[in-house]
Amino acid sequence: MIKRLEEIKLGSEKLLNDAKSLKDIEELRIKYLGKKGELTELLKSMGALSAEERPKMGKLVNELREHLENAVSVHTERLKEAALNERILLEKIDVTMPGEKIRPLGHKHPITLVIDAIKDIFMGMGYEIAEGPDIELDYYNFEALNIPENHPAKDEQDTFYVDGGFVLRSQTSSVQVRTMETHELPIRIIAPGRVFRSDEVDATHSPVFHQLEGLVIDENITMSDLKGVLNVFAKALLGENTEVRFRPHHFQFTEPSAEMDVSCFVCGGKGCRTCKQTGWIELLGCGMVHPRVLEMSGIDPKKYSGFAFGMGLERIAMQRFNIPDLRLMYENDVRFLKQF
Ligand code: DAH
């Protein structure tokens, strides 16, 4: 019986040391101290002992039981405390730690950067910013710009037609008409915005792109005003050393019309790959607003005259930021956008 007591002592000690959870401790308690526990059984079997041995043995068994009961309660307390401490540690907030940046701030798109730069230049010369809708009446996009139904000039800007006399505007020139109809004279505006044409997508074409339009209407506006303003603009945008030249051209809504080239800002005009060895890069179309266009918008062409210009913004952004493929600008890959 002494031997059995020894076994229980050793066994329970080992289990106590190995116990890692409250559940382990509870199992141990039931195993030894429960109603059918090993120690309880041992006590019960003491009837078989002699009257002499019984009190001695009883004392030993009771000592062990007390010891075990004590150990169980100490261990239980310790485990409970450890669990609590762990929870406190987990739920602790260090208010002095720097905040976590979850949403990084965005970045301006290269097209927006170009628009901002051009806006700055013209606002410095007293221009206002005008806007018009992307879904435009055929009238504003073509008709009122002296491009009547069935005119071949319409083919050059094949766009997307929407039922009810609407088109997705193929040029920001539509804003010219809207402005002339509503704005008091004199007019000095620029109008940046999205335009649409049914072009196939490739490295230099997209069915959606951006233009920036300009319009000035006042008394005594002449071609030299046009040249002066656009010369100042080109130098401000591309650098003081920039030269400009005007080539005669045709647009339905201006007369005379021209295209303006700027000296190549890569080679300075000597000739390189960017300017295809010509020393010049085409920047925009422009001209004196056609008297018929003025008239259709209710402005008296005998009293007033004006000039207009329009340019594509994608090409400027591509050249300014060295972007080799137009498509990169519409893919919205942040790794690309982050660079500007
Ligand atoms: N709207 C023309 C185009 O998309 C560009 C243009 C040319 C605009 C001459 C003008 C202008 O205002 O005067 O090709």
How many domains is the chain built from?
A: 2
Instruction: Tell me how far the alpha carbon of residue 312 lies from the centroid of ligand 1, in angstroms.
Output: 9
Is the domain of 74 the same as that of 155? no
Contact status, residue 191 vs residue 175, Cβ threshold 8 Å: yes
Residue nearest to atom 5 of ligand 1 (CA): 310
105 lies in a domain? no
Query: What band does 234 get if pLDDT is binned at 50, 70 and 90?
Result: very high
Residue 304: domain span: 110-337
Backbone angles phi, psi at 54, to 5 degrees: -55, -55
DSSP calls for 213-247: EEEEEETT--HHHHHHHHHHHHHHHH-TT--EEEE
Domain termination residue (choose one: 59, 90, 121): 90
Q: Which long-range contacts (CB under 8 A, 24 or more apart) does 278-281 make?
A: 280/245, 281/319
Residue nearest to atom 7 of ligand 1 (CA): 285
Domain termination residue (choose one: 42, 57, 90): 90
Is the domain of 130 the same as that of 39? no
Closest by Cα among 129, 139, 220 to 174: 139
Please compute the mean of the pLDDT values over residues 37-65 and round it to a whole number.
83
99 lies in a domain? no
Which residue ranges have their beta carbon within 6 Å of ligand 1? 171, 173, 213, 251, 254, 285-287, 308-310
Instruction: Tell me how far the alpha carbon of residue 222 lies from the centroid of ligand 1, in angstroms.
Output: 18
Nearest ligand 1 atom to the CA of 312 is: 4
Decide if pLDDT at 94 tops 90.
no
Is the domain of 59 the same as that of 126? no
How far is residue 190 from each of residues 9, 200, 310, 330, measured CA to CA in Å? Answer: 95, 28, 9, 24
SS3 label, residue 296: helix
Q: What is the pLDDT of residue 125?
A: 97
Is the domain of 42 the same as that of 133? no
Q: How does the average pLDDT of the chain come out, rounded?
A: 91
Decide if pLDDT at 312 tops 80.
yes
Nearest ligand 1 atom to the CA of 211 is: 4
Is the domain of 277 the same as that of 160? yes
Nearest ligand 1 atom to the CA of 172 is: 1
Nearest ligand 1 atom to the CA of 157 is: 4
97 lies in a domain? no
Decide if pLDDT at 101 tops 80.
no
Please state the separation of Cα 207 from the chain's center in Å. Answer: 22
Query: What band does 146 get if pLDDT is binned at 50, 70 and 90?
Result: very high
Question: What distance in Å separates the CA atoms of residue 218 and residue 188, rounded to the nearest whole number?
Answer: 9
Alpha helices in the chain (DSSP H): 2-18, 22-33, 38-44, 53-91, 110-124, 138-141, 174-182, 223-238, 291-296, 314-321, 334-337
How far is residue 199 from each of residues 84, 158, 195, 196, measured CA to CA in Å? Answer: 68, 8, 12, 9
96 lies in a domain? no
What is the per-residue pLDDT across 188-204, written as a single tens digit (0 to 9) for each? 999 999 999 998 898 88
Indicate the top mutation candidate among 175, 246, 283, 309 to test ligand 1's pocket, ranked by most ligand atoms within 8 A of CB.
309
Is the domain of 197 the same as that of 147? yes
Q: In this structure, what CATH number is given to the domain that contains residue 248?
A: 3.30.930.10
Is the domain of 160 the same as that of 218? yes
Is the domain of 333 the same as that of 189? yes
171 lies in a domain? yes
71 lies in a domain? yes
Is the domain of 85 the same as that of 146? no
102 lies in a domain? no
Query: What band does 57 get if pLDDT is binned at 50, 70 and 90?
Result: confident
Question: What distance in Å separates the CA atoms of residue 226 and residue 286, rounded to the nearest whole number?
Answer: 8
What is the per-residue pLDDT across 28-42, written as a single tens digit (0 to 9) for each? 888 888 888 888 888
Q: What is the pLDDT of residue 183?
A: 96
Nearest ligand 1 atom to the CA of 215 is: 12
Q: Which two tokens stand for residue 305?
A: 């005259």
Is the domain of 53 the same as that of 122? no
Query: What band does 211 get if pLDDT is binned at 50, 70 and 90?
Result: very high
Decide if pLDDT at 26 tops 90.
no
Please state the separation of Cα 289 from the chain's center in Å. Answer: 39
Query: What band does 171 get if pLDDT is binned at 50, 70 and 90?
Result: very high
Rounded to 10°, the helix 314-321/110-124 angle is 100
Burial 111-134 (b: 16+ CB within 10 A, else e): beebbeebeebbeeeebeebebee
Q: What is the pLDDT of residue 303?
A: 98
Instruction: Tell me how far the alpha carbon of residue 282 lies from the centroid of ligand 1, in angstroms.
Output: 13
Contact status, residue 243 vs residue 227, Cβ threshold 8 Å: no
Bridge partners of 280?
263
Indicate the top mutation candidate among 136, 141, 158, 173 to test ligand 1's pocket, ranked by most ligand atoms within 8 A of CB.
173
Is the domain of 68 the same as that of 144? no
Query: Considering the entire predicted model, what is its pTM?
Result: 0.71
Q: What is the pLDDT of residue 147?
A: 94
Residue nearest to atom 8 of ligand 1 (CA): 310
Q: Percentage of residues in the chain with pLDDT exceeding 70?
A: 100
Indicate the top mutation candidate among 286, 290, 297, 305 to test ligand 1's pocket, ranked by most ligand atoms within 8 A of CB.
286
Is the domain of 78 the same as that of 114? no
Indicate the top mutation candidate among 176, 223, 251 to test ligand 1's pocket, ranked by most ligand atoms within 8 A of CB.
251
Decide if pLDDT at 138 tops 90.
yes
Please compute the mean of the pLDDT values over residues 48-69 and round it to a whole number.
84
Closest by Cα among 187, 212, 209 to 118: 212
Please compute the mean of the pLDDT values over residues 248-262 and round it to a whole number.
97
Tally Cβ neighbours within 10 Å of residue 318.
21
Instruction: Tell me how far the alpha carbon of residue 284 lies from the centroid of ligand 1, in angstroms.
Output: 7
Nearest ligand 1 atom to the CA of 254 is: 13
Question: What distance in Å separates the CA atoms of residue 33 and residue 30, rounded to the nearest whole number?
Answer: 5
Query: What band does 15 get if pLDDT is binned at 50, 70 and 90?
Result: confident
Nearest ligand 1 atom to the CA of 156 is: 14
